[in-house]
Structure 1
Amino acid sequence: MSDKLRPLRWAVLGFFAFLLNFPVIATLATSFKTPRELVSNAGLFVREPTLTNYGAVLQVSDRLNIYEYLTNSLIIAAIGAILPLILCFPMAYTMARRGYGRAVLLPVVINLRTLPLIIFAIPIYMMYQTLGLLDTRLGLGLILAIVNIPLTLIILVNAVDDIPIQLEEAADIDGARLTDVLFRVVLPLCRPALATTFIFGFITAWNEFLFGLMLTTQHAVPVTVGASFFFAAGGGGVQWGVAAAVIIVASLPPVVLGTVMYRQITRSLLAGAVKG
């Protein structure tokens, strides 16, 4: 019976996969169309594929430089994803094993992430203007690191909770110091969770638009903001083919990262489900 239903299952899976990815497929198809075809053909099938739109995106000019925008986003997203790991790992261990701050600090930090980011826009801008951090990669990276701290902290606290405390007690009996226990016992066992938080943090930082628009003007413009400069680069309204091409190019790094590391994400998310 199951063999007979297998084609139906694949058909249903394929249908919903297509439905969920329809915006991506439509954008990809649009990026290969000429302006003339865009007017006459609104479907997904491309009659005369062209790379002209990608050529326009990859061409460097005085006003537009996709390579600079991608480099800015890469550095900013790396800061926004790595710094929370460095800060939250010892904090998560302390909360999970000692209980410090778990009753009050942890809920407060997590609930801060539920607030709209626009609330912090004006005070952050004024503070950055005073500190000279406007239009810098470091400044934008620090803000995105703060944005990623709540998710990083809750995932790492749960990861440390899942580690049997007997392993740490055995290391302590053998004379291991706290730093040895933390970095030689706990850290290796938390690698799936660390990889997951890094990927989520990187994607969140890469996709950030509000602070990128507000805190950068020229030297640290991320690709999410820089991509919008291509929409009407040729004048005469929105260049939909070029817009679609720059969106595809800007989406590639996080898509590739998530595809390469999806096993780590799955392992981390399923770790608590199979416990016990």
Structure 2
Amino acid sequence: MSTLTSAVPGTASPVSPAGRPRRRSGSGRRWLFTLAVGAIALLVNIPLFNAILVSFKPNGEIAQNPLGLPASPTLDHYANVLYGSGYDFPRFFLNSTLIALGTVLLVLVIAIPATYAIIRLGFGGSFILNAASGLRLLPAIFFIVPFFLLFSLLGLQDTIQGLIAANAFLNLPLAVILLASGLRDIPLEIEEAASVDGAGVLRTLLSVVTPMLAPTIVATAVLVFIFSWNDYLFALVLSTTDATPVTLGAANFVTSTGIRWGDISAASFLSTLPPLVFAVFAQKYLVSGLSAGAVKG
């Protein structure tokens, strides 16, 4: 007597001709995807890994074996960065912190009400969003000469305030685009209910919209902080001594006698820690904020 090969729906899973359950291909695809992402992440971070290795190598070993593991690890390069004469790392670090935090604050203060006016109040319509997108696509070097001339006339050359204004101008379009995506996901009925209860536009924005927009706001703040911290071009042109950030300060190790690769690598690694830690702790909000508006149910 032949065995029953078909099962009643809902009572048993299909079997292969050999009598074994069929393997799901989803797990295999997941492993392949994980391996691909891991390989890409490894390739992208090779410069960072190499900089960390070089920062622990003596100068002679850097020239002989720039890509290998340090045979005689040393902390001399970090000592030169933190305590060496002629390189004021604490001041550079403070300048970068003030510039990045000031840029985040200024961008959010302008972008949140501006985005609300565009999306909810119809101010400017889609023209402003399209203009913001086009402005964000322009390279930063396009604005260097106008900013240099303007800041020279206003006395903002080589000041923290000037670099905050320059970075805010560059990152404001990105903030408006991200906040617009998050704001569209907030049901309009909630704001209408607040209006019925007597809340005005400003009260609705501050008490209703802003708390619900928190994940997107945090994601925007993280990206603006990272972009402002990593800025090199504006710092190179608009600062000389007083407002020098860490990204530009590392260039002080390029001297007339040679390039101090170990010191540059140590300074570069130390300068990457704040945005890296900031992004790790805000990862949950970063993912949810960047995915706002991506899926429509």
TM-score when scaled to structure 2?
0.86
> Quick check: 2:80–2:263 contact (8 Å CA) kept in 1?
yes
- 2:247 counterpart letter in structure 1: T
Aligned positions of 1:1-276 closer than 5 A: 1=23, 5=28, 12-61=36-85, 63-232=86-255, 236-276=257-297
- Kindly state the Cα deviation for residue 103 of structure 1 after the two structures are TM-superposed: 2.7
- Kindly state the Cα deviation for residue 55 of structure 1 after the two structures are TM-superposed: 0.7
Q: CA RMSD in A?
A: 2.0
CA distance in 2, matches of 1:243, 1:139: 26
What SS does structure 1 have at the residue aligned with 2:57?
A: coil
User: Unpaired runs of 5+ in structure 2?
Assistant: 1-22
- Kindly state the Cα deviation for residue 8 of structure 1 after the two structures are TM-superposed: 6.6
Distance 1:30 1:159, change over 3 A: same
Distance 1:4 1:81, change over 3 A: closer
Identity of aligned residues (%): 36
CA distance in 2, matches of 1:262, 1:44: 32
- 1:95 counterpart letter in structure 2: I
- Kindly state the Cα deviation for residue 267 of structure 1 after the two structures are TM-superposed: 1.0
- 1:269 counterpart letter in structure 2: L
- Kindly state the Cα deviation for residue 17 of structure 1 after the two structures are TM-superposed: 2.8
- 1:191 counterpart letter in structure 2: A
Greater Rg by CA: 2
Q: Deviations over 1:121-162 (max 9, x none)?
A: 222212211111111100111111011110001111121111
Query: Which structure has more helix as a fraction of its residues?
Result: 1
CA distance in 2, matches of 1:129, 1:184: 41
Q: Deviations over 1:13-72 (max 9, x none)?
A: 5433322211111111111111121122233322111111111111142x3101101100
> Quick check: 2:108–2:221 contact (8 Å CA) kept in 1?
yes
Distance 1:121 1:12, change over 3 A: closer
Regions of 4+ moved over 4 Å? 1-13
CA distance in 2, matches of 1:43, 1:217: 33
CA distance in 1, matches of 2:218, 2:156: 29
CA distance in 2, matches of 1:264, 1:36: 45
* Mean CA deviation greater in 252-261 or 5-14: 5-14
Higher relative contact order (CA 8 A, sep 6+): 1
How many residue pairs get matched? 273
User: Unpaired runs of 5+ in structure 1?
Assistant: none
* Mean CA deviation greater in 98-107 or 259-268: 98-107
